[in-house]
């Protein structure tokens, strides 16, 4: 099948590479000429495990074709995916300009008798119908099409695996013809396929992300209660999670959720609920509580460590999570910015995210490795859950540090073992 994917970020490029690997001919359309030239050579502009190898493999076969021109991709494609960004506006609402611009260009370049346009960009219910109206306005008279909404559920750090083997495929569709084509396209994924109304599919994406975000906020609230009562969050999670109705998965007490999806998606559904005049929205509460989390962590650190003025603070972790170089809405970056205002001297390291962090952080020293971070440090903050941080030689680090305070934001260290080494240990909910 001939396919076009508009957008070459985490979602678009991963989808395009996977579909090409499944044997389809896939054009991937992007505006940035410099990045497009790099992509032609197999270079991608972000880190994602296994993706670069998959891209290079399918460039060589000729099945993956990067382009900046809609006219090279759209006229020949039976299925067209829209996978462009939908960032947040200052109000929390979604900026849909890239989606609508893509729809316009797709419409202008349609030429086949029938095409299925699949919106994969996360957007509020009703957006995909607007996409259809825009395409209708700009398309040639002879071109016919249907629109579908098919949300993505990938996680940064495991995007290729999530795209190849998702838990399910949700297809929001009205046309039986379009449904048949998109179901056939997804047969190779060998997972359950759920057909829904278009608006249901649009809302499923927001509902899923908001629920996961809620679990993180809930875990942080329970962690706070643990600290006030002498309980241990790890034991509480085990006690809750063994209830089959709840499960042990996805409990992450720490500094709150970050990254490219949860913050904007929760804010978006809160804004959507407000526009629909739904009072007492839980989404607005989740958004507010998460935004307060960083300042609460800073107060907690000051209460346990003291003043940060002129203190050398070693930071391990800059990315929003392990397995990615993405620093968008990263709690670690926010912590560093607040500590800088308190006149702390920051030295930081991350296995993947240093170059991206350099673009947004000034007045920070970046180390070449974890141990360099700890030399003469008054305190050590572990702010991302990279497994390698849990495997460090903390006896060696104790000798390198000037102070003995360590903050383990993701509870990746063995608390009692660390304390026996002479550290003043602070975790979350422990």
> What is the phi/psi pair of residue 145, to 5°?
-155, 165
Task: Note whether 188 and 270 are same-domain residues.
Answer: no
Q: What is the pLDDT of residues 222-253, one digit of tens each?
A: 999 999 999 999 999 999 999 999 999 899 99
Supply the residues annotated as catalytic. Answer: 261
| Strands annotated E in 234-355 | 312-316, 345-349
> End of a domain among 158, 180, 196?
196
Q: Provide DSSP, 320-355.
A: SSTT----TT-HHHHHHHHHHHTT-EEEEE-TTTHH
**CATH number of the domain within which 114 lies:** 3.40.50.720
Is residue 242 in a domain?
Answer: no
Is residue 208 in a domain?
Answer: no
Instruction: Give the span between the Cα atoms of 355 and 366, in whole angstroms.
Output: 9
> End of a domain among 178, 196, 214?
196
Task: Note whether 270 and 191 are same-domain residues.
Answer: no
Write the CB contacts of 180 (distance below 8 Å, at least 6 apart in sequence): none
Is residue 250 in a domain?
Answer: no
> End of a domain among 156, 180, 196?
196
| Domain count along the chain | 2
Whole-prediction pTM value?
0.92
Which structure tokens are listed for 76?
């020949």
pLDDT at 260: 87
Q: What is the pLDDT of residues 272-319, one digit of tens each?
A: 999 999 998 999 999 999 999 999 999 999 999 999 999 999 999 999
Task: Note whether 37 and 175 are same-domain residues.
Answer: yes
Is residue 247 in a domain?
Answer: no
Is residue 212 in a domain?
Answer: no
The dihedral over CA atoms of 209, 210, 216, 222, expressed in degrees to the nearest 10, equals -150
Is residue 49 in a domain?
Answer: yes
Nearest to 380 by CA among 327, 427, 320: 427
Q: Which domain holds residue 27?
A: 2-196
pLDDT at 251: 93
- Count Cβ atoms within 10 A of the Cβ of residue 155 and give its class: 0-12 exposed, 13-18 middle, 19 or more buried: middle
Task: Note whether 399 and 300 are same-domain residues.
Answer: yes
Residues in the chain with pLDDT values less than 50? none
pLDDT at 156: 87
Is residue 139 in a domain?
Answer: yes
Is residue 235 in a domain?
Answer: no
């Amino acid at each position: 099948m001939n396919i076009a994917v508009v957008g070459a970020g985490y979602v678009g490029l991963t989808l395009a590479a996977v579909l090409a690997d499944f044997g389809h001919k896939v054009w991937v359309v992007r505006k940035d000429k410099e990045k497009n030239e790099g992509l032609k050579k197999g270079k991608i502009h972000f880190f994602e495990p296994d993706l670069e190898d998959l891209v290079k493999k399918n460039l060589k076969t000729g099945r993956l074709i990067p382009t900046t021109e809609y006219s090279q991709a759209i006229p020949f494609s039976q299925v067209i995916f829209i996978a462009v960004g939908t960032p947040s506006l200052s109000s929390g609402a979604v900026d849909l300009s890239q989606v609508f611009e893509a729809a316009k260009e797709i419409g202008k370049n349609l030429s086949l008798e029938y095409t299925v346009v699949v919106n994969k960009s996360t957007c509020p219910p009703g957006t995909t119908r607007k996409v259809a109206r825009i395409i209708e306005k700009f398309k040639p008279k002879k071109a016919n099409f249907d629109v579908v909404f098919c949300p993505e559920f990938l996680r940064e750090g495991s995007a290729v695996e999530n795209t190849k083997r998702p838990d399910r495929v949700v297809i929001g569709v009205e046309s039986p013809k379009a449904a048949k084509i998109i179901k056939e396209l997804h047969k190779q994924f060998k997972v359950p396929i759920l057909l829904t109304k278009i608006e249901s599919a649009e809302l499923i994406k927001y509902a899923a992300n908001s629920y996961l975000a809620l679990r993180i906020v809930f875990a942080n609230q329970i962690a706070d209660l643990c600290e006030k009562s002498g309980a241990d969050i790890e034991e509480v999670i085990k006690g809750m999670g063994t209830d089959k109705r709840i499960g042990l998965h996805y409990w992450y007490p720490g500094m709150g959720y970050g990254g490219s999806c949860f913050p904007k998606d929760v804010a978006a559904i809160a804004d959507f609920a407000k526009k629909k005049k739904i009072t007492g929205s839980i989404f607005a509460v989740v958004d507010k509580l998460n935004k307060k989390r960083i300042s609460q962590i800073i107060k907690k650190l000051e209460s346990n460590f003291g003043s940060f003025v002129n203190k050398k603070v070693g930071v391990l972790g800059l990315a929003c999570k392990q397995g990615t170089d993405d620093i968008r809405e990263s709690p670690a970056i926010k912590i560093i910015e607040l500590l800088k205002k308190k006149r702390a001297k920051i030295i930081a390291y991350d296995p993947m995210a240093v170059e991206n962090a350099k673009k947004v952080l000034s007045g920070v020293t970046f180390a070449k490795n974890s141990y360099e971070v700890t030399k003469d440090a008054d305190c050590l903050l572990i702010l991302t859950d990279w497994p390698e941080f849990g495997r460090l030689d903390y006896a060696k680090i104790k000798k390198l540090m000037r102070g003995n305070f360590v903050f383990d934001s993701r509870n990746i260290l063995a608390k009692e073992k660390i304390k026996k080494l002479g550290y003043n240990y602070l975790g979350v909910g422990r």
